[in-house]
Amino acid sequence: MPHTYSLSPIGEIESPFKEKFGIPRQPGLCNAALGSIKLYGDANNEMAVKDLTQHSHIWILFLFHQNLEQGWKPSVRPPRLGGNQKTGVFATRSTFRPNGIGMSAVKLLGVRQSGQQWFVDVQGVDLLDGTPVVDIKPYIPYSDKIEQAHSDMADSAPTQSLNVVFCQQAQTQLSQYKKVTNNQYPHLEQLISQVLQQDPRPSYKQNKPDDKIYGIRLYDINIRWQVTNNRCDVLAIELDNEQTQGIKGK
């Protein structure tokens, strides 16, 4: 009988992604997706992050915490195969895994301190806000980048197939939002575009007629959008925050 081990998070992710729908399927696909690792307990220590900035990129090891109670199955239907074809879970990056552990290689922007709190700032995150982080490791190019590596299932990045267009109402709401928040998220328009270019709809919906209006939540806003052919129209940017309720489009 194998031994049982336990893991304690060393921190959690702060990211623009407030729900699973719309999160990029791999790290680095949306370089406007900025995030931070907020460190906990003994890991919230200057010595723990000493010299981390000597590395340009890091590995984040984390838990798929919203899926743990649902368990796992030996076979899954990965989006890369259209969502209808089954394959072995260990041949995929499925979030439904025996131990619910994930890993992302992201660009390191820096390490900072705010009061007694330490943060590790990163770029290109593909993680849900609040995701528990169990470890941070440096990305080492000479060993982690394998020139001869290949994947018959996913040998290239997904094509950014959608042309994203902000309608007049969305443009107005975006401009008003920036004013009210003092441009708190300067790359917001770029982030919205990059997320929607990936076409986050279910695989079976892609390349088919679809008149449904979808919504994605980023930061404290809800984005409503619709796809026609290869064009994605951003219809509205609606705010959750009570402070900004008055600037919604009429």
Inter-residue contact 33 to 126 (CB < 8 Å): yes
Nearest to 130 by CA among 229, 227, 35: 35
Inter-residue contact 106 to 27 (CB < 8 Å): yes
How do 132-138 and 221-228 pair as beta strands? unpaired
Measured distance CA(63)–CA(10) in Å, rounded? 11
Which pLDDT score, from 0 to 100, does residue 161 have? 78
pLDDT digits (tens, 9 = 90+) for 62-79: 999 887 788 888 988 877
Q: Is the dihedral of CA 214, 216, 217, 223 positive or negative?
A: negative
SS3 245: helix
Which pLDDT score, from 0 to 100, does residue 82 have? 65
Residue 92 is given by DSSP the state S
Inter-residue contact 170 to 236 (CB < 8 Å): yes
Which pLDDT score, from 0 to 100, does residue 3 have? 85
pLDDT digits (tens, 9 = 90+) for 200-241: 988 778 777 888 999 999 999 999 999 998 899 999 998 875
Which pLDDT score, from 0 to 100, does residue 128 have? 96
Whole-Å CA distances, 43 to 12, 38, 48, 120, 189: 11, 10, 6, 11, 34
Which pLDDT score, from 0 to 100, does residue 111 have? 98
Which pLDDT score, from 0 to 100, does residue 159 have? 67
Residues of the chain with pLDDT under 50: 242-250
